[in-house]
Amino acid sequence: MYLEAGAREVLVPTASPLVIRSAREAKQAQDLTFAPATAPMISAHQQGTVRFAASERDGGADLNGQVYGTRDVYVFDSSGYPTSAASHTMTPIIASSRMLTTKLLTRI
């Protein structure tokens, strides 16, 4: 579709980038496997930058997502994860964000 619309090159963000410049090369995308937790996609979600932790000594935000040393500043995304995940993170980000939001709404 992108090629038909005029793109000269399409980059599929897989662990080994797949560059498609023709309809013939596009067939390579059919070889990608998407079994659970094995999608070879590269994540753009920054992870581990404001770790969730039980103490300020061990992380940047508490287990409710509140950034240590702040008032009403929260982390509800993958930056609170302790390290970078080895698989796609969309579902865990949505689940943890929803859980932390629900916890916050019950407190206010």
Question: Could you write out the three-class secondary structure of the chain?
Answer: CCCCCCCCCEEECECCCEEECCHHHHHHHHHCCCCCCCCCECCCCCCCCCCECCCCCCCCECCCCEECCCCCCECCCHHHCCCCCCCCCHHHHHHHHHHHHHHHHHHC
Q: Do residue 16 and residue 6 come from a single domain?
A: yes
pLDDT at 85: 74
Q: What is the pLDDT of residues 18-50, one digit of tens each?
A: 899 999 999 888 888 777 766 666 656 678 789
Q: Are residues 23 and 65 in the same domain?
A: no
Question: Could you tell me the pTM of the whole model?
Answer: 0.56
Q: Give yes or no: residues 96 and 58 share one domain.
A: yes
pLDDT mean across residues, the chain: 85
Q: List the Cα angle 70/94/68 in 5-degree steps.
A: 15
Q: Can you give the residue range of the structural domain that contains 3?
A: 1-42
Q: Are residues 67 and 21 in the same domain?
A: no
Does one domain contain both 51 and 38?
no
Report the pLDDT value the prediction gives residue 65, as an integer from 0 to 100: 95
Q: Based on the fold, state whether residues 66 and 15 are members of the same structural domain.
A: no
User: Same domain for 54 and 30?
Assistant: no
pLDDT at 51: 92
Q: How many separate domains does the chain show?
A: 2
